[in-house]
Amino acid sequence: MIIRRGLIEDMPAVLELITELAVFEKEPHAVEVTVEDLERDGFGPQPLFETFIAELNGEIIGMALFYYRYSTWKGKTIHLEDLIVKEEHRGTGAGSKLYAAVMQYAKDQGLRRVEWAVLDWNTPAINFYEKSGARVFTDWRVAQMDEQALQQFTLQQQEKNLN
């Protein structure tokens, strides 16, 4: 098994892994991103994310996708968006190796923090993260505004500004 940086030609396999993760997280229809989006956004003039790929005998079996954020407390940080290994290859160490690659990359970049979200029912992942030294917070809540809510909010704001 090798762990390497992701390439533009890996994006079809990355999308398959993203879709598999959505199914695992009980959101099978949530993925809207396309291969073209991944290619443009990860490999354009200002890449928005980076990936590490786990490859076994020429087959992509896992990936970690991350991007830079800025913390007003810590400065430049990394957000680990997704780490997924194909179901039939779980337990092979691929996930641990991808996780370690991201953490080593962050250390090499001199970053002060790597953060990510984990579903509260994903006990194996929570246990793994805690065992690695990560703190899993229970007092912070994730807030998101999806496309429909964003449109509704901005429309309400426009109407408010007209009055």
CA angle 104, 106, 107 (to 5 degrees): 65
Options 67, 68, 105, 129, the catalytic residue: 129
Distance, in Å, from the CA atom of 43 to the CA atom of 6, rounded to the nearest integer, reads 10
The answer to whether residue 70 is catalytic is: no
Distance, in Å, from the CA atom of 127 to the CA atom of 156, rounded to the nearest integer, reads 43
CA angle 35, 2, 81 (to 5 degrees): 45
DSSP letter string, 34-79: -HHHHHHHHHSSS-S-EEEEEEETTEEEEEEEEEEEEETTTEEEEE
Residues classed as catalytic: 129
